[in-house]
Structure 1
């Protein structure tokens, strides 16, 4: 049986420490301001992204990992005798999965296994960590793919958005919705299910109200949650990160709670202050 390599993309929002310790290869998506193109997490940081948004008063365009990028990543691993598992941003949210599929056709069958996460951010990261666990247990790439496909519909991803500016500038909220939302201090909670982003509910007033909605959902699920890994992922969310971490650890403590920062691609769509909780149900 061949060795197994795990590949994902920069929207997985896993920390560098996790990526290095679990031997994960990450391919960057791209962020574009006019003619300037940056590789997510390599050429640009989230802090710099927000600086540029303020300077230029525009939201950057983002683009997928190309088939050529995937071929460049796949080729040396295949030559070294690895089978490959790739899971990254959901196919309905980016062209990256299609790029991976196109690239995989350049290699022998049964060497590259693609799993559509139907998710984003550490909703992908959870699948990547499960893939690493299965690899370390000695499972084949084929068996890992089968197991991941069982987990995909069980991933729960919720994010509270602090400001509507980025949703508006990115074309995801009308000017009227943005104005009313700002006046009423609306904090939408976005969920990702089956590859689609939808508004789960809206809270008014302080950001803490939105956090409490997400935390209540998490706590009420109780024994239905797979407590191997729970993620709190944010984009410059400050004190709210500590609050959510404290409540999670007090009320329903996971075996591993990871706090990670959203990369540039995810942050460009949600804006500063966004924070989410992501986990798997049994």
Structure 2
């Protein structure tokens, strides 16, 4: 009988606690601090209420899971019949939560393995599916960690924001640049290539923003992933849309541009949404195992 390995991820993956239960995945909800009070994504904070707070001028910051909560969760899972845990936190380049988890895992004698997977949102979700598949094949937590880290950088995310206001609040653009950008309807395209959220391109208007993201995904598909087996490549969409129809329209537009790919949509979590604000849209491409 092989090891029984639990797969655990944070809610930046787009997987909330209820969905995690259906998938057989343990979810660590990301804390969000609003006017000094701590809420938990997907537990007592919905994305709709999060954006209401954000737009309403409340003081909103995101935080990493508390060390105590994480250790308690690991101990609880190990006591429930699992031999090991593979934990897949958000990219170490975007948060200290991966480094904290790695340090805490040192006290668990190898029973908890933390994958520095360099992913967030839909590529992170893809890594969860990979981990479940490997666990079902009988791989142990260390083997799963090594496999996830080997393909960690085989992904790209491109994001366009509706307003520069929230990037300004986070200090990512200057107030002057934000004011000019909003007047001229400039939509920056940001990218996450594993580790950092950085500027990628600037376009005028949402329509051009969508076209630029689709063009960027197509370029990656033909160059970076050109030699890969298409069966192992995934294209996905995400966003901070408040209207589900808008989210579906974006997903459909991307799927129409990539025949043969089944494109999914996930809400971008609060950690990214704090910087992008509502009505942001994104698409990603990544390799699965």
CA drift at 1:281: 4.3
- For the pair 1:232 / 2:231, whether they are aligned, the reply is no
CA drift at 1:252: 2.1
CA shift in 2, pair 1:117/1:241, >3 Å: same
- For the pair 1:106 / 2:112, whether they are aligned, the reply is no
Which residue does the alignment assign to 1:9? 10
SS in 1 for 2:263: strand
1:67–1:102 CA contact under 8 A, matched in 2: no
1:227–1:256 CA contact under 8 A, matched in 2: no
Find the aligned partners of 1:7 and 1:77 in 2 and give their Cα distance: 10
- For the pair 1:68 / 2:84, whether they are aligned, the reply is no
2:13–2:122 CA contact under 8 A, matched in 1: yes
Which residue does the alignment assign to 1:136? 136
Q: 1:155-174 counterparts in 2 under 5 A?
A: 155-174=155-174
Deviations 1:221-253 (CA, angstroms, capped at 9, x unpaired): 246365554321110164553343223333324
SS in 1 for 2:101: helix
Runs of at least 5 residues in structure 2 that lack an aligned partner in the other structure: none
Deviations 1:70-116 (CA, angstroms, capped at 9, x unpaired): 111111332324211111111222121122123212212x2111111
CA drift at 1:34: 2.1
Which residue does the alignment assign to 1:28? 29
- Report the count of equivalent residues: 279
Find the aligned partners of 2:67 and 2:103 in 1 and give their Cα distance: 6
- For the pair 1:247 / 2:253, whether they are aligned, the reply is yes
Find the aligned partners of 1:120 and 1:209 in 2 and give their Cα distance: 25
Runs of at least 5 residues in structure 1 that lack an aligned partner in the other structure: none
CA shift in 2, pair 1:18/1:49, >3 Å: closer
SS in 2 for 1:199: strand
Structure 1 length normalisation: TM-score?
0.90
Which is worse superposed, 168-177 or 13-22?
Answer: 13-22
Find the aligned partners of 1:198 and 1:66 in 2 and give their Cα distance: 27
SS in 2 for 1:145: helix
Find the aligned partners of 2:242 and 2:53 in 1 and give their Cα distance: 19
Task: Name which of 262, 267, 275 aligns with 1:269.
Answer: 275
1:156–1:281 CA contact under 8 A, matched in 2: no
Find the aligned partners of 2:129 and 2:59 in 1 and give their Cα distance: 31
Greater per-residue strand proportion: 1
2:168–2:175 CA contact under 8 A, matched in 1: yes
- For the pair 1:40 / 2:38, whether they are aligned, the reply is no
SS in 2 for 1:116: coil
Find the aligned partners of 1:262 and 1:179 in 2 and give their Cα distance: 25
- For the pair 1:203 / 2:212, whether they are aligned, the reply is no
CA shift in 2, pair 1:200/1:240, >3 Å: farther
CA shift in 2, pair 1:213/1:10, >3 Å: same
SS in 2 for 1:153: coil
CA drift at 1:277: 0.8
- For the pair 1:92 / 2:93, whether they are aligned, the reply is yes
1:233–1:277 CA contact under 8 A, matched in 2: yes
Find the aligned partners of 1:31 and 1:14 in 2 and give their Cα distance: 16
Find the aligned partners of 2:26 and 2:166 in 1 and give their Cα distance: 29
CA shift in 2, pair 1:141/1:256, >3 Å: farther
